[in-house]
Each structure stands twice: as structure tokens, then as C-alpha cells.
A and B are shown apart, each in its own frame.
Chain A
Amino acid sequence: MRTLLLIAATLAAQTPNLNPITWALSTQPGKLVLHAKIAEHYKLFSPTKSTPGPIPLRVKVLESRWLRAAKPLASTDSHTLTGETDITIPYTLRRKLPNDGLTVHVEVEYQSCSDQICLPITRRTLEAKLLPANPVL
């Protein structure tokens, strides 16, 4: 049994992680917060620094009819992001939210590399509920 576990662990170590970033979207008054959990040894290319190479993180708020989103801000001033990090998207409302709130969709497009491999452009769409009490008018 121990040998089997050891073999399984070895095999797992040899398979590269092809989905190294876990995303979550939350809302705060006047801002959307993207939370990225980046796997160990991997890096994400920052949205605020242009790098001569892989695309930087691109963020798009799909409900542009409702929100005017500003440029995203990373929590650290670096070309690459590692570990757990927040990316903030400040916004202002273009119109009053519906009484039952608004589901906001944020599309992220990014590339990531480890010290051994690089992954092609990945796109994810995240959603969060914006309630009328939250927004700043």
C-alpha cells in the first residue's frame, strides 16, 4: 500500500499543473475584487506592468452598460504575481441598479509560467452579485 502511495505521489509530481490559477470574484463598495490563488512555482503576468512577452492579465467587465470600470490594480508593483493576490477593479455606476441586484461578469485572460513550462492564453469568466446597497453612485 505504501509503495502504491509512493508511486502515485511520484506520478503526480511528474504531471505538470495545467490549471495553476484559481480565481474568485467578490464585490466591495465601489470596486470588484479578483482574488487569484497561484500555485507554487507558477507566476501570473501582472495587469499593471507591460512585459515584453506573455500577455499581461487582461480584465473585462462585461456589464459595461451598467458599470464604468477603471484600470485594474494589482496588490504588488511587479511584472509577475505569485502566491495569493488581489486585483482590484474600481468602478462607478452608469445607472441605478435593479432592486434585486445585478450579476456582474468579469472576463479574465492571462498567461502563466512555472520555472519549467509556459501555458497558452487562458480565459475564464467569473461572476458576482452586486446588490443595490453596495454601489457608490
Chain B
Amino acid sequence: MKFLLLLCLAANLAAQLKKPILLELFTAEGCASCPPADELISAVDRLQPIPNADLIVLSEHVTYWDHSSKDRFASTTLNNRQLGYSQLLKLEGVYTPQLIIDGKYECVGGNGPEAKRLILEALKQDKPLLELNANRVNGKLLTNVSFFGLSGATILVAIAEDNAETKITKGENSGKTLKHTAVVRALHTIGTAEGLRTDRTVELPLPPIASSFRIVAFIQDSKTGHILAAAQVKL
């Protein structure tokens, strides 16, 4: 029993020592180039292939392929988020699949070697520890985030569905069954960091989710878009 406890403590400590890197995949069920990127992000989440990195993934579905195949996970909020990155990163426009790494770097979503290179680059940035706790209470989600510093930065919480699956009947992906990892179902801005230590508890509505889900909290510099801290809990 003691050994098990020590093992748990060691695992917890190891997880904390790993630096969190937020990977946001902008994707769509109607986009023919996206399934390989969806598979890549899923493998990254499962295998955690980079030592010292805690790779936190989010699949963010955009609506601009909805004319070919209606994507039930897509939202204009996420279109705007991608557009915001496009402007911050001084790109000519948006595309899918696009991977944004820590709000700072971008590459084609299915390009594993390039993603790895950029993740290693992102690992050079120091990050404060973000503590995140989330519990279901009366059909809602009680979420607490706390961290030191980062005054003025925006605090965001994503509710993301795991093991989501869609059988596609229209568009270029017709006939495929697409599996998604950490599909963003809701994205909430819950405030800004203030003073030396921020400790914020909020009650969030829980979207209708069929399977398991995760909560991802991250702190984002509103001017540069850089992710300054991140954490996740799976429920």
C-alpha cells in the first residue's frame, strides 16, 4: 500500500516536472486533408512521445467546410479563434488542418516532424505551474484554477469530448468513420490574472457529451496569443 502511494506521488511529481505544451488542431470533418492530422493528434495524446513534455491537445472544429458535410462539433467561435491566430502569426489566411503550438508556432496539422521540431522549440519557454481542479456538481462543472504571476493574461477553460466518433455520409470523407480526441465543445473565458496569485473558481454549464471528457485550462497572453501556462484533468 505504501509502495503504491509512493508510486502515485512519484507519478504526480513526474507529471508536474513535465512542461505542458498546448497543441490546438484546427480541423473539420468535411476537409479531406484532415483525417491524418486527427489521427496524429490522437496518437500524440495517447503516446506522449516527447520526453519532458506534457502534450495537451485540443481538436477545434471550424465551420467553413460545413457546406460539404455538416460538422456537429464546429463553431464560429473556433473559426474566430483560428482567424485570431492567423492575424497574430501574420499569415495570409486560414487552412485546415492547422496545428498551433502554444499559441506561438504553427504548422500543417499532419506534419509530424515539423510539429516535433516546434514542440521542442516551445519547450525552451519556462512556464509557471497551473493548478486545475474540476468536478461535476449537479450537472454543472465546478472548476478551480490557481497560479502565480502572469498578471493581465486571459484565463480560458475548454471542455473537450473524448472518443467522439462520426460516420461521414457526405463530402470527400464520405464513408469514413472519423474518431476525434479532445474535441472542444465549449470554450470559456473566465477572467484575467491579477496580482501575485490568481485563484478562481467558476461554475460552468456542461454541454451534452456522450462519452468521457476533459477540462483544459490555459493562460493566454491576449496581445501575443502565447500560451503561458496550461493544465488538464480528465473526467
Residues of A within 8 A of B (CB): 14, 16, 18-19, 51-55, 113-121
Contacts and interface: CB of A to CB of B under 8 A. Distances in A.
B20 interface: no
B154 to A, nearest CB: 26
B172 A52 contact: yes
What 7 pairs between A and B have smallest CB-CB spacing?
A53-B172, A120-B64, A18-B92, A53-B171, A53-B68, A18-B93, A117-B95
Given A53-B68, A54-B68, A19 B92 contact: yes
B174 A118 contact: no
18 contacts: A18-B92, A18-B94, A52-B170, A52-B172, A52-B174, A53-B171, A53-B172, A53-B173, A54-B32, A54-B65, A55-B67, A113-B33, A116-B111, A117-B98, A119-B93, A119-B94, A119-B95, A121-B67
Contacts, number: 67
A52 B171 contact: yes
Sorting the interface of chain B by its residue count into under 10, 10 to 19, 20 to 34 or 35 or more gives 20 to 34
Nearest to B94: A120
B164 to A, nearest CB: 21
Interface SS majority for chain A: loop
Interface of B: 30-34, 64-65, 67-69, 91-98, 107-111, 114, 170-174
B172 A16 contact: no
Contacts of B97: 117
Contact of B33 (A51, A115, A120): A115
A19 B94 CA distance: 10
Contacts of B174: 52-53
B33 A14 contact: no
A118 B92 contact: no
Given A18-B92, A52-B171, A116 B68 contact: no
Contacts of B31: 118
A53 B169 CA distance: 11
Contacts of B92: 18-19
A55 B68 CA distance: 7
B69 A18 contact: no
B61 to A, nearest CB: 13
Contacts of B95: 16, 18, 117-120
Nearest to B171: A53
A53 B92 CA distance: 24
Contacts of A54: 32, 65, 68, 171-172
